[in-house]
Amino acid sequence: MRVLITGAAGFLGSHLTDRLLDEGCSVHGIDNFSTGDPANLANLACNPRFTFKEWDVCQSFDPGRVDYVFNLASPASPPEYLRLPIETLRVGSIGTENALEIAARYNAGFLHASTSECYGDPLEHPQTEDYWGHVNPVGPRSVYDEAKRYAEALVMAYHRTRSVNTHLARIFNTYGPRLHPSDGRVIPNFLMQALRGEPLSIYGDGSQTRSFCYVDDLITGLLLLARSAEHLPVNLGNPNEFTILECAQEVLHITGSSSQLCFESLPEDDPTRRCPDIAKARALLGWEPHIQLSDGLARSLDYYRRKIEARV
């Protein structure tokens, strides 16, 4: 089995690469390093079943015959997609179309990394897959949210009219080693701040919620979905919901840090609540996460400690 992964040098892409190589697949990775890190793939330099091309997926490309395409390329952190707004729209639209064309050409399976952001600032709670969402189409986050919603429509069109065997994973906040220490998402921010003894930056009053999934659980879910017969979106995430203040307390507890909390302004359109209903993933895939936040944070510590030692 030869697999193409776009966004292979990113957080999720590099873990997915490792898992597929462990299973005996050959993996061809593509990444333009816009938010990814070559260090995430450094352990694979000598692996004969791994090949890599530095490339922007918005430029058409042909990786040769592949049996499966995982389309993960896209900035994913709010500060990064706000830094790269047009690039984010282009990779969600043109990049996804290029990846779908490859799947169509080689009759390959296709999984797209979609997101809970498709639900926007949700009015229904927890979020089920049949909720259509509450998205500001012109706010700052729209570059990500609407790119992902467009991509879902494009994927369904290739499935319906070109018979591509597609899958849509609506991924909720996922964390773990290789989530870049300076990419601005909440868990790397808090872990780096706690380990450095700096104040933890709480945006708003910290009452907004997120539901955090550890990367190993998420990768298991992605692979089960990729091998399933389901073409409509499936939520993948951990349904245990935390306020951001509770998340900060958990980080302080796991690190043993005595950092203070500091309160900063809430980004525009920051969703108030987010929690996946994973009944569909449980029923269709027999999947649910097993690693809870305290355990996942503990498993992530070494990576961030090493980054601090390396002064990243």
By CB under 6 A, name the binding residues for ligand NAD. 6-7, 9-13, 30-36, 56-58, 72-76, 91, 95, 113, 115, 171, 173-174
Least separation in angstroms between residue 141's CB and ligand UDP is 8
**Residue 69, contacted partner among ligand NAD, ligand UDP, none, CB below 5-8 A by kind:** none
Token pair for 38? 């070559």
Task: Verify binding: residue 201, ligand UDP, rule CB under 6 A.
Answer: yes
Q: Which partner from the list ligand UDP, ligand NAD, none does 10 bind, CB cut-off 5 to 8 Å by kind? A: ligand NAD
- In angstroms, what is the minimal distance from the CB of 55 to ligand UDP? 26
Candidates 127, 208, 235, 259: give the one binding ligand UDP (CB under 6 A).
208
CB 6 within 8 A of CB 14: no
Binding residues for ligand UDP, total number by CB under 6 A: 15
* Residue 246 binds to ligand UDP (criterion: CB under 6 A): no
The answer to whether 85 contacts ligand UDP (rule: CB under 6 A) is no
Region near ligand UDP per CB under 6 A, out of 19-27, 41-49, 183-191, 299-307: 183-191
Q: How many CB atoms lie within 10 A of CB 300?
A: 22
203 binds ligand UDP (CB under 6 A): yes
- Does 226 engage in binding with ligand UDP (CB under 6 A)? no
Annotate the chain with DSSP letters as a single string. Answer: -EEEEETTTSHHHHHHHHHHHHTT-EEEEEE--SS--GGGGGGGTT-TTEEEEE--TTS-------SEEEE--S--SHHHHHHSHHHHHHIIIIIHHHHHHHHHHHT-EEEEEEEGGGGBS-SSSSBPTT---B--SSSTTHHHHHHHHHHHHHHHHHHHHH---EEEEEE--EE-TTS-TTS--HHHHHHHHHHHTPPEEEETTS--EEE-EEHHHHHHHHHHHHTSS--S-EEES---EEEHHHHHHHHHHHHT--PPEEEEPPPTT--S---B--HHHHHHH-------HHHHHHHHHHHHHHHHHTT-
Residue 270 interacting with ligand UDP (CB under 6 A) = yes
Which residues have a catalytic role annotated?
Answer: 144
Residue with smaller CB distance to ligand NAD, 7 or 177: 7
For residue 202, the partner it binds in ligand UDP, ligand NAD, none, with Cβ less than 5 to 8 A by kind, is: ligand UDP
CA distances from 196 to 87, 193, 281, 293 (A): 33, 5, 38, 21
CB of 16 to ligand UDP, least distance (A): 20
Shortest Å distance, C-beta 112 to ligand UDP: 18
- Note whether 142 binds ligand UDP by CB under 6 A: no
Beta carbons within 8 Å of 111's beta carbon, 6+ residues apart? 68, 69, 70, 71, 166, 167, 168, 169, 222, 225, 226
Answer for which of 173, 211, 257, 300 binds ligand UDP (CB under 6 A) is 173
Indicate the residue among 186 and 215 with the shorter CB distance to ligand UDP. Answer: 186
Q: Which does 234 bind (CB under 5 to 8 A by kind): ligand NAD, ligand UDP, none?
A: none
Comparing CB distances to ligand UDP, the nearer of 191 and 219 is: 191
Contact residues for ligand UDP, defined by CB under 6 A:
77-78, 173, 185-186, 189, 201-203, 208, 210, 244, 266-267, 270
